[in-house]
């Protein structure tokens, strides 16, 4: 079985938005989106000792290679990075087009995503990619099993669990409750340097420059502002008077 895992390179620590471009500042250090580590781990688990292949796919700046190398160090077999200035600033519509183009080259049986991007809080990309590839999609997977050409997913929802089955090829977004991602071993880190690493341009994905980046995006950031203040956030010590202080606070807010 061939499994492709889509991963994102996200800025480390507290992000900042560049006031000029109104885009997330990606110039600093970055790391593998930690929700995507769950997807890499699940792919490695599903592959097990079998003779399948796990390929990690990303779209981003050249530095995104660091995150792909981490996935390789965890045990993925091969990496593909779509890196093209014309793809910078892509929104959902544009990103899904580019990723679908990169994934179409792979013809994977199963495509995995993590449950959200920790930088932009996006938690929808898989469904757009699935639509472009015309493949079934299941999200919020708390368990994934593959039998023959069927994937069975336990989907966690607001109301409980659904057990969903679909035929392969399919796309699944895993919840971060699904597993504990492994840490790369030293051997894994050393080995990652020798694994196949392919860098693609937009043209390689078959997407026109007009359909990617800002040009291909249908949404835009207009302005940055301060969120409404939460009021006067107060922090107090939990000493003997703490319970009374809480009651006084609730009384002041007319909540008791």
User: CA-CA distance, 84 to 62, in Å (whole number)?
Assistant: 9
Query: What three-state secondary structure class fits 30?
Result: strand
Residue 189 vs 215, nearer CB to other proteins: 215
State the DSSP H helix or E strand holding residue 60, giving kind and residue range, or none if neither: none
Residue 92 vs 189, nearer CB to other proteins: 92
CB of 244 to other proteins, least distance (A): 6
C-beta of residue 3 within 8 angstroms of C-beta of residue 47 = yes
Q: Token pair of 205, please?
A: 């994905």
CB of 17 to other proteins, least distance (A): 6
CB of 180 to other proteins, least distance (A): 11
- State the CB neighbour count (10 A cutoff) for residue 38: 25
Residue 168 vs 189, nearer CB to other proteins: 168
CB of 25 to other proteins, least distance (A): 10
C-beta of residue 179 within 8 angstroms of C-beta of residue 115 = no
Residue 80 vs 94, nearer CB to other proteins: 94
Cβ-based neighbours of 141, under 8 Å, separated by 6 or more: 153, 154, 155, 156, 172, 173, 174, 175, 178
């Amino acid at each position: 079985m061939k499994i492709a895992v889509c991963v994102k390179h996200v800025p480390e620590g507290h992000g900042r938005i560049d006031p000029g471009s109104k885009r997330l500042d990606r110039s600093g250090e970055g790391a593998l989106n930690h929700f995507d580590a769950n997807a890499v781990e699940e792919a490695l688990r599903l592959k097990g000792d079998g003779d399948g292949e796990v390929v990690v796919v990303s779209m981003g700046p050249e530095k995104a290679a660091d995150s792909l190398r981490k996935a390789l160090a965890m045990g993925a077999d091969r990496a593909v990075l779509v890196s093209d200035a014309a793809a910078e600033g892509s929104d959902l519509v544009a990103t899904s087009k580019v990723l679908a183009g990169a994934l179409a080259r792979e013809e994977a049986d199963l495509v995995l995503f993590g449950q959200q991007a920790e930088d932009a809080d996006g938690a929808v990309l898989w469904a757009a990619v699935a639509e472009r590839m015309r493949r079934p999609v299941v999200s919020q997977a708390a368990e994934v099993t593959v039998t023959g050409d069927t994937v069975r997913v336990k989907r966690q929802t607001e109301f409980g669990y659904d057990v969903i089955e679909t035929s392969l090829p399919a796309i699944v977004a895993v919840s971060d409750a699904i597993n504990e991602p492994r840490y790369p071993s030293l051997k894994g880190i050393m080995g990652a340097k020798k694994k196949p690493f392919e860098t693609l341009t937009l043209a390689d994905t078959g997407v026109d420059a007009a359909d990617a980046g800002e040009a291909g995006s249908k949404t835009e950031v207009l302005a940055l502002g301060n969120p409404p203040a939460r009021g006067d956030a107060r922090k107090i010590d939990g000493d003997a008077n703490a319970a009374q202080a809480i009651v006084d606070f609730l009384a002041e807010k007319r909540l008791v």
